[in-house]
Amino acid sequence: MYLLAHLSDPHLGPIPEARISELLGKRFFGMMNWIGARRRNFGAATLAPLLTDLLAQGADHIAVTGDLVNVSLPSEFDTGATFLTSLGAPDAVTVVPGNHDAYVHSALAYHLEHWAPFLSGDDTHPDTP
């Protein structure tokens, strides 16, 4: 039997410091959402026991869908890459970015730079539009 584990919307935090110019538009509202409520519901204290249990299941593959980051700041993608690596090797972990991972047009470049090994299938590379 093949065991697939699925983790969705970890919203890794905290959101790194940002320049005011980086928080214009949609990112501003995402930051307000984080400050208002999300930071209390998402974080290491919530995620750590879940990950301990998930990894203890011995899944053949882990699918992480949506929203590793909060407002698509460049350094959030570093955190996302570290998180994905902590789950396993790219051949055992796949990520499907969510809407928070694509808050801005430049986010695609960040996905490809930091998460490419986890975006690819067997013997393939992620396509760019």
Overall average pLDDT of the 2-15 stretch: 92
- SS3 of 63, please? strand
**The two three-digit tokens of residue 6, written as one number:** 């699925």
Residue 48 lies in a domain: yes
- Of 22-31, 69-78, 97-106, 108-117, the one with minimum mean pLDDT is 22-31
Mean pLDDT comparison of 30-34, 80-84, 102-106, 110-114, highest-scoring range: 80-84
Peptide bond into 117 cis (omega under 30): no
Overall average pLDDT of the 60-69 stretch: 94
Is pLDDT above 60 for 128? no
Residue 80 lies in a domain: yes
Distance CA 68, CA 11 (A): 5
The pLDDT value given to residue 36: 75
Is pLDDT above 70 for 125? no
- The alpha carbon torsion through 72, 98, 116, 106 (nearest 10 deg) reads -40
Residue 71 domain boundaries: 4-119
Reported pTM:
0.85
What is the count of structural domains for the chain? 1
Proportion of the chain above pLDDT 70, given as a percent: 91
> How sure is the predictor about 25, in pLDDT bands with cuts at 50, 70 and 90?
confident
Residue 124 lies in a domain: no
CATH code of residue 49: 3.60.21
Distance CA 71, CA 107 (A): 10
